[in-house]
Amino acid sequence: MSGRPLDVLEASLEERVTVRLKSGEEYVGELAGYDQHMNLVLEDVGLPTEGGDDEPIEDTTIIRGDNVVSITP
C-alpha cells in the first residue's frame, strides 16, 4: 500500500475506519467517500467503547477534513 494519504483512503473505501478529531472525539464507521480536502462521509457511525463494540449514533455523518487528526483503517 502506498504511503500517500489519498491512496490509503481509496484503499479503505467501504471498510471500517476510526477517525480521531481535534476535539479528542473518536468515531468509527464505514468510509463511504472522501474528497481532496479529506472531508469524509461515514456510514453506520458509532462511538468506540471499552468492550470493543461500537455504540451506534448515526446512519450517515460528514466530517470536515479540517477537524481530522487521524484516520485508522
- In the chain, where the domains are located: 5-72
User: What pLDDT score was predicted for residue 2?
Assistant: 60
DSSP H or E stretch at residue 58:
strand 54-63
Nearest by Cα to 61 from 36, 34, 37: 34
pLDDT in tens for each of the 73 residues of the chain? 567 888 989 999 999 999 999 999 999 999 999 999 999 999 999 988 877 778 888 899 999 999 999 999 8
Q: Which CATH architecture has domain 5-72?
A: Roll (2.30)
User: What pLDDT score was predicted for residue 52?
Assistant: 72
DSSP H or E stretch at residue 19:
strand 16-21
By residue count, the chain amounts to 73
User: What pLDDT score was predicted for residue 54?
Assistant: 80
CA angle at 16 for the pair 57 and 38, rounded to the nearest 5°? 90
